[in-house]
Chains A and B, each alone.
Chain A
Amino acid sequence: AQKVTQAQTEISVVEKEDVTLDCVYETRDTTYYLFWYKQPPSGELVFLIRRNSFDEQNEISGRYSWNFQKSTSSFNFTITASQVVDSAVYFCALSEAMDNAGNMLTFGGGTRLMVKP
């Protein structure tokens, strides 16, 4: 069965620090998708990124970057030069591609990031 673990429940940094949010996943499928969502105080989950299991290229989008390593089953998320507006709960999620897997997302427990001015 699939599982996503976000070991860091809460992280606190000072503005302009870099911070990495860890995500480790388990799946028996060879084809799968990994996601990161951000949950700001308003409550909705905001999509940040999707990667498929065949694409291990790291990705950078502005201050955000993602490091996907199949060898360690990890999909870590780094925010460079953090800002107060980055304060939110961040969720990592997995979607398997097996025929009977459905379209459901399996979420990690979330990491609450607090960026202090």
Chain B
Amino acid sequence: EAGVTQFPSHSVIEKGQTVTLRCDPISGHDNLYWYRRVMGKEIKFLLHFVKESKQDESGMPNNRFLAERTGGTYSTLKVQPAELEDSGVYFCASSQFGQRGDEQFFGPGTRLTVL
């Protein structure tokens, strides 16, 4: 069974540009999460999809971040325009049932560098 995959693995962009990160969850997992770890800080929750609906987006830092999950399969996270403080590793995770305490399966992350 394939795990959670993320693309690209690395992205280097200039401040002000746009970047789109993609996450493919484990097949059959309705729940998809985005987290990020900026340099020297903890991994922080961004948002949670149940199928195509945003269940919780309380962690989204500002309106420069737009997450979508059309069709309830893969998800994209767009940053527009990117700022220096957006640099970090963006993780995606998925779970099958979405109940509290469920194991979340993580992808390898996308390392974003904004210059």
Q: What is A's interface to B at a CB cutoff of 8 Å?
A: 4, 33, 35, 37, 42-47, 50, 52, 91, 95-97, 101-110
Check if B75 is an interface residue, CB within 8 A of chain A: no
Contact A103–B42 (Cβ < 8 Å): no
Type the 1/0 row for B63-100, where 1 means its CB is closer than 8 Å to any CB of A. Answer: 00000000000000000000000000101010100111
B101 and chain A: residue at smallest CB distance: A33
Q: What is B's interface to A at a CB cutoff of 8 Å?
A: 3-4, 9, 31, 33, 35, 41-45, 48, 55-56, 58-59, 89, 91, 93, 95, 98-109
Cα A55 to Cα B1 in complex, Å, equals 31
Name, among A42, A43, A50, A106, the residue most crowded by chain B CB atoms within 10 Å (CB to CB).
Answer: A43
Contact partner of B43 (CB less than 8 A), chosen from A42, A97, A107, is A107
Contact partner of B106 (CB less than 8 A), chosen from A4, A45, A103, is A45
Complex interface: chain B residues within 8 A of A106 (CB): 42, 45
Complex interface: chain B residues within 8 A of A97 (CB): 100-101
A-B contact pairs, 28 of them (CB 8 A): A33-B101, A35-B103, A43-B9, A43-B109, A44-B106, A44-B109, A45-B91, A46-B106, A47-B103, A47-B104, A47-B105, A50-B101, A50-B103, A91-B43, A95-B101, A96-B100, A101-B100, A102-B55, A103-B33, A103-B55, A103-B98, A103-B99, A103-B100, A104-B48, A105-B43, A105-B45, A105-B104, A106-B45
